Amino acid sequence: MSGHNKWMQIKHQKATTDAKRGQIFSKLSKMVTIAAHEGGANPAANAKLREIIAKAKEANMPSDTIERAIKKAAGGDAAKLESFLYEAYGPGGTALLIEGTTDNGNRSSHEIKHLLSEQGAKWAEPGSVRWAFENAEGKRIPLPHALVQISEENREKLEALIKILKSREDVGEVYLNT
């Protein structure tokens, strides 16, 4: 009757949910630190910080953790973190914008290049994909004339690629033109 202990089942479920929460909190904490570093630690004066704090509260991130991330920016540790925007072409010629924060830009770019090549996507030069998107309230929205239709097979490949990219701690958001 091995494996039928209720406590063990709860323990494994809790470990899984805690790992997912930790990953989300880590991403949000980095985003808070970057926003506070770029626009100031006062949420009333920094719209980007206010928006990210709202996202963090939606994810049930503790206020202490949010405050620690803001203090980290004020303390100068945020200078080690940098935001990035990588461009790529996915399956079926889909345009991808990969946005996030990292403490080591070289490592992140090489790891993302490797993931893209493994999944049949290609790294793009800066500016070669960005034209297909417009900025609207902090989000990147694909332009109507830049939308592409892809086959079901390519859609499955694209979904797998996005899942892999979003599982990375450095990646915050992935934008598509499909």
Going residue by residue through the chain (178 aa), what tens digit of pLDDT does each one get? 565 788 888 888 999 999 889 888 988 888 888 888 888 888 999 888 999 999 999 999 999 999 998 888 877 655 577 889 999 999 989 999 999 888 888 999 999 999 999 998 999 999 999 999 998 877 888 988 888 999 999 999 999 999 999 888 888 889 999 8
Domain boundary among 56, 79, 102: 79
Tell me: do 60 and 89 sit in the same domain: no
Q: Do 74 and 116 share a domain, yes or no?
A: no
* Owning domain of residue 74: 6-79
Q: Which amino acid is at 117?
A: S
Among 21, 44, 79, the domain boundary falls at 79
- Spatial distance between the Cα atoms of 169 and 173, rounded to a whole number of angstroms: 11
Say if 1 falls within a structural domain.
no
For residue 172, the domain's CATH number is 3.30.70.980
The reported pTM is 0.69
